[in-house]
Structure 1
Amino acid sequence: MTAKPQLRTINVTRYIAPLREGGSLPALAEADDDFKYVLKFKGAGHGVKALIAELLGGEIARTLGLRIPELVFANLSEDFGRTEADEEIQDLLQGSQGLNLALHFLSGAINFDPVVTNVEAELASQIVWLDSFITNVDRTFRNTNMMIWHKELWLIDHGASFYFHHSWANWESHAKSPFALIKDHVLLPKASLLEETDKAFKAILTEEKIKEIVDLIPEVWLDWEDAEESPQTIKKVYADFLLTRLANSEIFIKEAQNARQKSI
């Protein structure tokens, strides 16, 4: 019997530098455990929904055996950021007091370059399956969101996944969508083992496991101004979305296979 997934909680002690890739202004920061982290802020563009996507996407990837930096909950105190000279960053820090999310910083890692690094069919198929499943729009040639660290491929940044939650309507239809944007996936040409991957991953992602991952979402991230539902109801929608998508995986598998045929 596998243990339930858990995340550590750290306290951010030092803001080191902004990482200006994308519009959410993540930052390199240090915590009270003396490790460095890439800090994602609830006060940024898409707020807590991007953190929820990061949390769910990352922990699903980890459950499936893919490499992802450790995710931790990251506390920002009320005093944090008051001495920051940049007004935009100060506003971001002040608007992110409380619980945020961070990824362990992979020191010395380099961006994945598909021209330089060959990815085998099995791993490519696993990553394409994951991104089709969680509707991750952001693993393209323009922005691969993968790193090479100690000669191994690591996945980062799943905050653009689960885009249905930005409108929070018709989640059932989104759960059964083919996810046409998979055509832009950087690893799609290599993903020749999608059916085999589908069978293996559906055996891992049991209903119990999915509910355990969804249950990691802190309730303080579920008090949405644009939703009347309770935190528990919102969690149930996320779980139902994933379970429905899993039960209908042939829809997104077929879409990816058709797109792959056109790309090779």
Structure 2
Amino acid sequence: MNKLDVRTVNVVQYVQPLREGGSLPAIVKADDDFLYVLKFRGAGQGTKALIAEFIGGELARAIGLKVPELVFANLDDSFSKTEPDEEIQDLLKFSVGLNLGLHYLSSAITFDPLVTTVDAKTASKVVLLDSIISNIDRTAKNTNLLIWNQELWIIDNGASFYFHHNWPLWKNHLTRTFPLIKDHVLLPQATELDYAKQEITSKITPQIIKNITNSIPEDWLINQTDSLTPAQMRAAYTTYLNAKLGMVDALINEAKDAR
């Protein structure tokens, strides 16, 4: 089974919570001496948000967008026992095991569309990819983009693939476009969507998609309330992405009309 080369680290220090995030991510230190923004499996959307974050981030990386390194991060049960804040204590308790870390970009600032202009090719790739992965959370209110070293970095894809919150009906989404692209923060700059199509369809191959879905940790795919097996879920993500790439012209026309 071909997979991505994703590192696994162990969390050794809980540094501080990031309270601006709805799911209460935190800055942590790992045993490789790097800092990471940790997304917890015990947060509101559970491992589904981690899966969406992982797939979306690695697809963005595949098409040449800048994404912090994603790592699988082991959290043991010692952290919850020494945490005085009850909310954080519960989060840590329910997050023992494998979580998702994003390399911490020190001194990065939140992207502000009124301050920074993004070049048309980059904006178009972000817009079209977000349309493919049905990312509902890249708006002017909450851009989920950073500026670091004067470059645009992609973070927070956890609200993508929302079909996976209702597996019995997931196939209904295979032929749908993405009308919410009208709210995308980069849509006004996305004037090179045909270029973005060429980049995305040449770089996100069926094999790349399989490598990414094969790399999802097995225990992120096990949930007693879900009707599909882990293998069926991997196949569903793969089928979904291939279906969206097959209707990319419809997604482009929808984005052009919205702009």
Q: TM tier, shorter chain? A: over 0.9
Superposition pairs of residues 106-255 of structure 1, within 5 angstroms: 106-255=105-254
Q: Secondary structure at the match of 1:165?
A: helix
Aligned length: 258
Shift of 1:225: 1.7
Report the counterpart of residue 72 of structure 2 in structure 1.
73
Please state how far the C-alpha of 1:228 moved relative to its aligned partner.
2.8
The one-letter code matched in structure 2 to 1:164 is F
CA distance in 1, matches of 2:185, 2:160: 16
Match of 1:89 in 2: 88
**Distance in 2 (alpha carbons) for counterparts of 1:175 and 1:203:** 21
Identity fraction in percent: 55
- Which residue identity is paired with 1:237? A
Residue 58 of structure 1 is matched in structure 2 by 57
* Aligned equivalents of 2:118, 2:65: Cα separation in 1: 13
CA shift digits 1:24-80 (9 cap, x unpaired): 000011111111100000000000000000000000000111000000000001222
Letter in 2 for 1:157: D
Deviation at 1:4, TM superposition (A): 5.1
Alpha-carbon displacement from aligned partner over 1:165-185 (angstroms, at most 9, x marks no partner) = 111233233132111111111
Conservation of the 8 A alpha-carbon contact between 1:172 and 1:244: no
The CA RMSD over aligned residues, in Å, is 1.2
Letter in 1 for 2:75: L
Q: CA deviation at 1:22?
A: 3.2
AA in 1 matched with 2:132:
F
Cα distance in 2 between the residues matched to 1:196 and 1:218: 33
For residues 99-157 of structure 1, the C-alpha deviation after alignment (integer angstroms, 9 at most, x for no partner) is 00010000011111111111111111011011101111111100111111111110111
What TM-score, normalized by structure 2, do the two folds share?
0.97
SS at match of 2:80: coil
Query: 1:176 aligns to what SS in structure 2?
Result: coil
SS at match of 2:81: coil
- Deviation at 1:239? 0.5
- Distance between the aligned counterparts of 2:192 and 2:175, measured in 1? 21
Q: Which amino acid aligns with 2:192?
A: L
Q: Please give the alpha-carbon distance, in whole angstroms, between the structure 2 residues aligned to 1:139 and 1:21.
A: 15
- Residue 42 and residue 179 in structure 1: after superposition, are their counterparts in 2 closer, same or farther (change >3 A)? same
Partner Cα separation in structure 1 for residue 251 and residue 175 of structure 2: 8
1:165-211, Cα deviation, whole Å (9 max, x unpaired): 11123323313211111111111011111122112211111111111
The gaps in structure 1 that reach 5 residues or longer are none
Q: What is the distance in 2 between the residues matched to 1:200 and 1:250?
A: 14
* Structure 1 residue runs of 4 or more that deviate by more than 4 Å after TM superposition: none
Cα shift readout 1:4-32 (whole Å, capped 9, x = no counterpart): 52210010011111111232000011111
Q: Is the 8 A contact 2:11 2:31 kept in 1?
A: yes
Paired position in structure 1 for 2:32 = 33
Contact 2:167 2:228 in 1 (8 A): no
**Structure 2 residues not aligned, in runs of 5+:** none
Normalized against structure 1, the TM-score is what?
0.95
